């Protein structure tokens, strides 16, 4: 069950369901309040801590990335045409099966 064909088939069939659940978990996590503790945690709501770090006394360390830097990194991405073949096949099977 670990070969690429089966994994791609599972992903093709369940990607939207899995993504919807992941989005719900992300939204819940990013909007809940983290309490102050004796560990190295910063209290607050994760989304606010990330987008407005100055509200918690932190520094915004966001680094801007230029379009040229993005294009430079895209040169190193390798796409597998095999995955496209699987998708085409799965769509073909779905069309035939209705």
pTM (predicted TM-score)? 0.55
Q: With beta carbons less than 8 A apart as the criterion, state whether 42 and 58 touch.
A: yes
**pLDDT tens-place string over residues 29-63:** 999 999 988 888 888 999 999 889 888 888 888 88
Burial class (CB in 10 A: 0-12, 13-18, 19+), 54: exposed
Counting the structural domains of the chain, the total is 1
Domain range for 43 is: 4-97
* pLDDT tens, position by position, 2-19: 677 888 888 888 999 999
């Amino acid at each position: 069950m670990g070969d690429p064909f089966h994994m791609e088939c599972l992903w093709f069939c369940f990607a939207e369901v899995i993504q919807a659940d992941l989005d719900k978990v992300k939204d819940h996590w990013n909007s809940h309040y983290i309490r102050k503790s004796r560990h190295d945690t910063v209290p607050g709501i994760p989304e606010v801590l990330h987008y407005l770090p100055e509200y918690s006394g932190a520094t915004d360390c966001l680094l801007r990335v230029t379009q040229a830097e993005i294009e430079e990194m895209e040169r190193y991405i390798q796409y597998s045409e095999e995955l496209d073949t699987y998708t085409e096949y799965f769509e073909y099977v779905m069309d035939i099966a209705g």
